[in-house]
Structure 1
Amino acid sequence: MFNTKSFEGVNFYEVDWDLKGQLWAHDPVISKEGNTWYVFHTGRGVQIKSSEDGSNWKAEGSIFETLPEWCKAYVPEKDEESLWAPDISLHNGIYYLYYSVSTFGKNTSAIGLVTNTTIDPNHPDYDWKDHGHVIHSTEEDNYNAIDPNLIVDEQGKPWLNFGSFWSGNKLIELDPKTMKPKEGAELLSISSRTEQPNTIEAPFIVHRHGYYFQFVSFDFCCRGVESTYNIVVGRSKDITGPYFDKDGVSMMEGGGTQIDAGDDRWIGPGHCAVFFSGDGDSSILVNHAYDALNEGKPTLQIRPLYWDADNWPYLKK
């Protein structure tokens, strides 16, 4: 959940989202500080991009120069410096960035946490502090500890939702002091599909007008123009679920109302994030898609996300 009070008066529906510049990105999330937008995404050390206008993007380096030392204890196979699927949130004046450590196709995985008081790399206080391990999974577990997302509920309690394939997506309550799992917290299941392999991952939960919305990605990423990724959503009155789609199908039984399945150019859109303006009246959907006109490279997409009279999100075609 993003604290967007500093963005009051910014109407995201009036921003020109015709993206240009350095747009290679996989698993992107977005935030804004001052007049500058920042995107964080999968890559060496967690990659960062910035834009003054939301349209023109440039690279800003990475958070880590080398793989964090704690990673090898949980993912001993990790032999390259790519960190996956970051999540950025401003909460109580601190930026919390969760990130994933894993190897492709395996659930020997871990989620880590870094914090900063600013995301402006030119600010004198810019300094990422690594808080190490948050939660992990092993090959004996029936879940995969990647694709984290922080959500603070309406009572002020922080939760982490995450997951990829295996038995689906999970939710766990966090300790508000450490922002790591609360002692004795139960690992809850919040979305799954009925067939195998269980092609669901990357949950992202937001709250709007009395409902918690869980956005997830179905099917397969990472295959260029052969990718079948698509974005779906369900909602619940309670953060712990159950979540249902427009047709009343539970997201624990494969339910999900489709938001975007891509088109002839933008193949396999997925791993999305949602970001609200300070007043909550406008929002954007951030994700990657594979560009059929650019060798199927994963490319940043940012689009206005609208809401209908029944409080369901949709994209304008």
Structure 2
Amino acid sequence: MIKRSKKNVTLVLLSALLLLMAAFPVNASTRALSGDIGVHDPAYIVENGTTWVFSTGQGIQVLYSSNGTSFTRGIQVFATEPAWWSQYVPNHTKLDVWAPDIYYYNGKYHLYYSISSFGSNTSAISLITCTSIAKGDWVDQGVVVSSNSSSTYNAIDPNVFADKNGNLFMAFGSWFAGIYITAIDKNTMKPTGNSYRVATKSGGIEGASVIYNGSTGYYYLFVSIGNCCQGTNSTYKVAVGRSTSVFGPYYAKDGTSMLNGGATVIDSGNAAWIGPGGQDVPSTNLIVRHAYSAADNGNPKLLISDLYWDSSGWPYYN
């Protein structure tokens, strides 16, 4: 029989505890991701245990993961450019597609996306649908909303969400006159009625993502402020405001209306991850975004974090 001293047993138990803590870190709020995690403006959804992330890029870029942490690049959604794109955005660059958003409703996955040209508000938000992301049986549903040089708004960065009663809405917009929200018809999954401006900010605002938190009774409008797309020189930040109504007014934590530039910054990045933004908030306990990696020459990477709520009903994450 092998005899072990109390000291040896203690060391064995301590080693086992350290291994367990490494595997399941206490208060770990940001996932340790691996594989191909290059994204910009990620949109997140889980289908039958598989995590899917759609993002800006050629034909809409796709990542997938069986465990939510190790990702593989899939086949882009569009292999060729639909002919009607050029009708709405004549200067569009081939298969360059921006800021998709994915929403499951009534047995279908609805993938919204933007086509535009940088610095212009000649843009269009469009929609394709499928019954299974894994199967990839996508059907083109055409344009959702468009804008041109005579429009005040910019038809990019769609985000579809439900209110507390299950009615559907879409937030969209950018620098050009800010962020708008419009009601969505559940039959067509396209806008019905007017669009209402809910946020503006000098120096840049875009990438809206809205969610209702039943625990606090507020709608939260997450936005990206500042400049994207400049690698480690990007100044993107994730900011938020809240309202008791879908159409606002939304207020920052200091009481400033988002229509007057108010926005409470909750992530300004750090030395490793610069210019976080393009966020998607798929639930009240999760936030997904990109940031520019200082370790990888400023290339944008996927970040996924647990979302928390403080005692005053404001979101935060680590």
**Structure whose CA Rg is larger:** 2
Q: Deviations over 1:146-170 (max 9, x none)?
A: 0000012122221111011011011
C-alpha displacement of 1:260: 0.3
| 2:172 equivalent in structure 1 | 162
Pairing 1:103–2:123 present: no
* Segment of structure 1 superposing worse, 167-176 or 128-137: 167-176
Q: Could you say what secondary structure the match of 1:39 adopts?
A: strand
Correspondence for 1:143 among 150, 153, 159: 153
Q: Could you say what secondary structure the match of 2:75 adopts?
A: strand
Q: Could you say what secondary structure the match of 1:62 adopts?
A: coil
Tell me the matched-pair count.
290
Alignment of structure 1 residues 231-246 onto 2, 5 Å: 231-246=238-253
CA distance in 2, matches of 1:308, 1:92: 33
C-alpha displacement of 1:275: 2.1
- Note if contact 1:16-1:55 (Cα within 8 Å) is conserved in structure 2: no
Correspondence for 1:262 among 252, 269, 277: 269
Pairing 1:190–2:223 present: no
C-alpha displacement of 1:15: 8.6
CA distance in 1, matches of 2:121, 2:115: 10
Which runs of 4 or more aligned residues in structure 1 lie more than 4 Å from their structure 2 counterparts after TM superposition?
A: 13-16
Correspondence for 2:66 among 45, 52, 63: 52
- Note if contact 2:124-2:147 (Cα within 8 Å) is conserved in structure 1: yes
- Note if contact 1:168-1:191 (Cα within 8 Å) is conserved in structure 2: yes
Q: TM-score when scaled to structure 1?
A: 0.89
CA distance in 1, matches of 2:66, 2:97: 26
* Segment of structure 1 superposing worse, 146-155 or 95-104: 146-155
C-alpha displacement of 1:200: 0.5
CA distance in 1, matches of 2:148, 2:73: 34
Greater relative contact order (Cα < 8 A, sep 6+): 1
Pairing 1:315–2:313 present: no
CA distance in 1, matches of 2:51, 2:31: 12
User: Counting helix residues as a fraction of each chain, which structure ranks higher?
Assistant: 2
CA distance in 1, matches of 2:251, 2:290: 25
Identify if the C-alpha distance between structure 1 residues 227 and 14 changes in structure 2 by more than 3 Å, giving closer, same or farther. Answer: closer
- Note if contact 1:15-1:54 (Cα within 8 Å) is conserved in structure 2: no
Root-mean-square deviation (CA, aligned residues, Å) is 1.4
Q: Which amino acid aligns with 2:194?
A: E
C-alpha displacement of 1:16: 7.4
Pairing 1:91–2:105 present: yes
Q: Could you say what secondary structure the match of 1:187 adopts?
A: strand
Structure 1: runs of 5 or more not aligned:
1-12
- Note if contact 2:30-2:305 (Cα within 8 Å) is conserved in structure 1: no
- Note if contact 1:40-1:49 (Cα within 8 Å) is conserved in structure 2: yes
Alignment of structure 1 residues 58-77 onto 2, 5 Å: 58-77=72-91
